[in-house]
Amino acid sequence: MNILHIDSAITGDASVSRQLTATITAKLQADNPDATVTYRDLAEGVPAINNDWFQAVRLSPENPTAEQQALIATSDAYLKEVQDADVLVIGLPIYNFTITAQLKNWLDQIARAGVSFRYTAEGPEGLLKGKRAIIAYTSAGTPIGSDLDFASGYLRHILGFIGITDVDFVPADRLAFDRDAGLARAHEALERIAA
């Protein structure tokens, strides 16, 4: 089993999502002693896509410049980590009712037509099939699945769009109102997740 462990919280050691992703990853490793782990901390910075990225990565020039080669290499590196993974463990802290900017940038880097998805006569088809995602959802006040939650549904949708349809959430939500209850919900969900 190859595990891709992704954090995106900007709050360092105080981050509940980081604590949960570490716990989930440790549980997977305990149940699969031969598992390998690749760690990616998106809070260290993920380049946002722009016109230069589009010209280099999406248009795939025949003779890319050195700058274009660097943009392609960065996007390819993010994508290869996902392609090589059997399980993705993703920290999803809620900032302003949605996903972090760093996580959105990462998703933009890996959602690539003809590589992670393709359009067919029947509609779009995800190409990263046979993978599982376990999402550590944390929020101060936004209940998961509520009308205020613009994160979990989006993340489930975009992962499905690229072919990852086996998605579980470990929610520690409404922590500002009752931290103990929020953490208890997360640990209950953890116990239900089969490794």
Amino acid in position 17: S
Distance CA 135, CA 169 (A): 5
How far CA 1 is from CA of 34, 48, 170, in Å, comes to: 7, 30, 20
What does the chain come to in residues? 195
- In angstroms, rounded to a whole number, what is the distance separating the alpha carbons of residues 160 and 157? 5
**DSSP single-letter state for residue 42:** G
User: Rounded distance, CA 8 to CA 46, Å?
Assistant: 10
Q: What is the Cα–Cα distance from 164 to 78, expressed in whole angstroms?
A: 16
Residue with tokens 């090589």: 84
User: Which residue in 87, 82, 81 sits closest to 136, CA to CA?
Assistant: 87
Residue 60 is labelled as binding a ligand = no
**15 among annotated binding-site residues:** yes
Q: Is 82 annotated as a binding residue?
A: no
* Binding-site residues from annotation: 15-17
User: What residues are designated binding site for FMN?
Assistant: 15-17
